[in-house]
Amino acid sequence: MIRLGIIGFGNISTTLLTLLKDVLEDPLEHLTIVCRPEYESQVNQIMREDFNDVALENSITSNIETLINNKPNLVVECAGHDAVTEHIPQVLSAGFDTVVASVGALADAALADSLYDAAHKGKARLIIPAGAIGGVDLLASLKKHGKLEVSYRGIKPPAAWSGTLADKLMNLDHLSEETVIFSGSAREAASNYPKNANVAATIALAGAGFEATKTELVADPNATGNIHEYSVNCPLAHYTLRVESLPSSGNSKTSVTTVYSIMREITNRIGPIVI
């Protein structure tokens, strides 16, 4: 049994809670949800109606101090880049291990430094999940050898790019073929497309870094889901990994594999086996 804190109550959190209902043998000891103040009563109602049995005790709040006072064993951020800036330095420096889903936020070097300092100060761990992609274990291992060449391509249907910079650059509704909407470094991708470049950021952090990770973002009217592919070349090994994932039902920008990866971060902290 663990005490869990979740920051954000959108698509990832609610899908995650639905999965936890199925996979947990025993309820969590305690669950804190941190949401925006204006959603508190709505979140309370949804928790009561749909997720009451995920934990023995629930606490819904918009105040991060409440989460800290509830002493979670693990905190999961799934709220967005602003929430990383607003809450995570405080949570880490208070000593609580935190899984950050909005990995692209770490492309901001000053914010990344403040998170590392906070984790150091609090003797806590900043945990970067594999998220929508896999194979990050091998990439992070090969990083120790160095001399990595890494390129990433993220392909999503045009609708997944709506409301992003691409929407201003082209008419997404009228694309008839695969169209590259961005080509450059993982750092530029993460700052220009914050909601769509978390995978680029994860690969960059695991491997060759934000500047050296070549990134292409693509809108494809024929894509039925979100496709992430990356290639790694180094003197020890080379591999290409391609994941075709369904989008989450609640947010076409988010691949559903992300939610399963975050679930694994939780279940790996329960029970005798970590894999």
Ligand X SMILES: NC(=O)c1ccc[n+]([C@@H]2O[C@H](COP(=O)([O-])OP(=O)(O)OC[C@H]3O[C@@H](n4cnc5c(N)ncnc54)[C@H](O)[C@@H]3O)[C@@H](O)[C@H]2O)c1
Q: Is 80 in the site for ligand X (CB under 6 A)?
A: yes
Please, what is the minimum distance in Å from the beta carbon of residue 204 to ligand X? 12
Q: Is 254 in the site for ligand X (CB under 6 A)?
A: yes
Q: Is 21 in the site for ligand X (CB under 6 A)?
A: no
Q: Which of residues 98-137 bind ligand X (CB under 6 A)?
A: 101-103, 131-132
Please, what is the minimum distance in Å from the beta carbon of residue 136 to ligand X? 10
- For 131, other C-beta atoms within 10 Å of its C-beta total 27
Query: Total number of residues binding ligand X (CB under 6 A)?
Result: 29
Q: Is 249 exposed, middle or buried (0-12, 13-18, 19+ CB in 10 A)?
A: exposed
Minimum CB distance to ligand X smaller for 130 or for 234: 130
Tell me the residue nearest to ligand X as measured from the CB: 10
- Catalytic pick among 30, 81, 87, 228: 228
Which of 10-18, 50-58, 142-150, 157-165 is the region at the interface with ligand X (rule: CB under 6 A)?
A: 10-18
**Rounded distance, CA 90 to CA 238, Å?**
39
The alpha-helical segments, DSSP class H, found in 144-208 are 165-169, 186-192, 198-206
Q: Is 29 in the site for ligand X (CB under 6 A)?
A: no
Tell whether residue 132 is among the known ligand binding residues: yes
Please, what is the minimum distance in Å from the beta carbon of residue 58 to ligand X? 16
Please, what is the minimum distance in Å from the beta carbon of residue 271 to ligand X? 24
Q: Which of residues 151-210 bind ligand X (CB under 6 A)?
A: 195, 198-199, 202
Q: What length is written for the chain?
A: 275
Residues 142-157 as b or e (16 or more Cβ within 10 Å = b): bbeeeebebbbbbbbb
Q: Is 250 in the site for ligand X (CB under 6 A)?
A: yes
**Rounded distance, CA 241 to CA 227, Å?**
10
Minimum CB distance to ligand X smaller for 9 or for 210: 9
Q: Which helix (H) or strand (E) holds 149?
A: strand 149-156
Q: Has 228 been annotated as catalytic?
A: yes
- For 73, other C-beta atoms within 10 Å of its C-beta total 17
**Rounded distance, CA 47 to CA 31, Å?**
10
- For 253, other C-beta atoms within 10 Å of its C-beta total 19
Annotated binding site: 132, 198
Residues in touch with ligand X (CB under 6 A): 7-12, 34-36, 78-80, 82-83, 86, 101-103, 131-132, 195, 198-199, 202, 248, 250-251, 254, 258
Q: Which residues are catalytic?
A: 228
